[in-house]
């Protein structure tokens, strides 16, 4: 009986998700006009829901997309 309770407690605690991770990012790239541009964006990584929310700083633009989460990488695709 105690073994079953211990296993159940282990499953319950492992099912509890991690808190979202908030990142402030700076994206530097060369535009088609050959000028370097910088965009600041905030990312919210939510492994529990499998989503990544992208918010462009200084604008009202934001989007939530599906993400793939593993131990050392989060992969997502954002289409403009």
Write the CB contacts of 75 (distance below 8 Å, at least 6 apart in sequence).
Answer: 67, 68
Contact yes or no for 46/23 (Cβ under 8 A): no
**pTM to 2 decimal places:** 0.67
State the pLDDT confidence band at 39, using cuts at 50, 70 and 90: confident
Mean pLDDT over the full length of the chain: 79
What pLDDT, on the 0 to 100 scale, is given for residue 16?
56
Residue 12: pLDDT over 60: no
pLDDT tens per residue, range 48-68: 999 999 999 999 999 999 999
């Amino acid at each position: 009986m105690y073994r079953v309770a211990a296993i159940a407690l282990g499953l319950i605690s492992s099912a509890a998700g991690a808190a979202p991770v908030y990142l402030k990012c700076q994206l530097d790239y060369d535009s088609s006009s050959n000028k370097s541009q910088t965009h600041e964006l905030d990312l919210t990584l939510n492994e529990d829901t499998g989503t990544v929310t992208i918010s462009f700083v200084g604008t009202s633009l934001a989007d939530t997309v599906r993400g793939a989460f593993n131990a050392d990488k989060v992969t997502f695709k954002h289409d403009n």
